[in-house]
Amino acid sequence: MVSKREEEEVNRLEGQVENGGGGGWEYLCLLRKLKLRGRSDKVLKHGCPILNDPKIRSSLGPQEWTLYEQVAIAAMDCQRLDLVKDCIDILRKKFPESKRIGRLEAMLLEAKGLWAEAENAYSSLLEDNQYDQVIHNRRVAMAKAQGNLSGAIEWLNKYLEVFMADQDAWRELAEIYVSLQMYKQAAFCYEELILAQPTIPLYHLAYADCASAIGQLTKGRNNKESSELQSLSGVALEKGYKQQSPTKVSLLSSTLRSLKLSL
């Protein structure tokens, strides 16, 4: 998850580059560092000129190949599959035995909609390295792209058996469960997120929504009470604890003591 400060820095650099103030390479590096894929058009706009200029490209040193990879992935997002192939061919020539390039080739198959071929390629790569997080994530994305949410759930659960601390994966799994009205399973995911980062209000509020939905389905009193308390705790966190929400925090604390509940 990108922090507010990081987002501001991205926007500042983007504005600078777009207005001709330079800093294109620094902007691309920051996008790569923060793993932001929502600006793929900007990556192509500012990355391709660097790659097409031999003098600038050679000045990058080993980072030249990293930029080729970044541009290839951005080109997939923009459906510039011809450009993807060009980047992969250059990288394959430089690194003929690279599994990382093999991963790009599998992603290209996925971008073309060749699901079976892509799945075979990913499976083969995982045999060599079962801890490749990118490939695990691509399998989830591929299942979702095909509308196979049960498959995405299966892959995410398998992934989380190995990478239990990946909060983005827990959040993605929770959102899929909610979309399928599987609220108990979604609530479990939000419990994991709350345990990992208890001061993020959105996790409490999302958990409260799940508890409320469960309560409506089961008409259970305990679920209703739990939902109300979780919503109250989320509001208190969102408003800045005691400085901005002393009444709500006080009410939450007293209610918790009287009911002997632990959130």
| End-of-domain residue from the set 34, 69, 96 | 96
Cα–Cα dist 227/214, whole Å: 9
Section 57-66 average pLDDT: 94
Q: Is residue 129 in some structural domain?
A: no
pLDDT given for residue 74 in this prediction: 96
Which has more pLDDT, 220 or 43?
A: 43
Q: Is residue 157 in some structural domain?
A: no
| End-of-domain residue from the set 61, 79, 96 | 96
| End-of-domain residue from the set 38, 71, 96 | 96
Cβ-contact 233, 202 below 8 angstroms? no
Find the domain containing 209 and state its range.
183-263
pLDDT given for residue 263 in this prediction: 41
Q: Is residue 228 in some structural domain?
A: yes
Q: Is residue 238 in some structural domain?
A: yes
177 phi and psi angles, rounded to 5 deg: -60, -45
Q: Is residue 138 in some structural domain?
A: no
By CB atoms closer than 10 A (0-12, 13-18, 19+), residue 225 is middle
**pLDDT digits 0-9 by tens, 194-227:** 999 988 888 988 998 888 888 877 765 555 555 5
221-225 LR contacts (CB < 8 Å, sep 24+)? 225/259, 225/261
Q: Is residue 117 in some structural domain?
A: no
Q: Where are the alpha helices (DSSP H) in 53-200?
A: 54-59, 63-77, 81-94, 99-111, 115-128, 133-145, 149-162, 167-179, 183-196
- Please tell me the total count of domains within the chain: 2
Q: Is residue 133 in some structural domain?
A: no
Task: Compute the mean pLDDT over every residue in the chain, rounded to the nearest whole number.
Answer: 85
Q: Is residue 168 in some structural domain?
A: no
Instruction: Give the tokens for residue 17.
Output: 């580059």
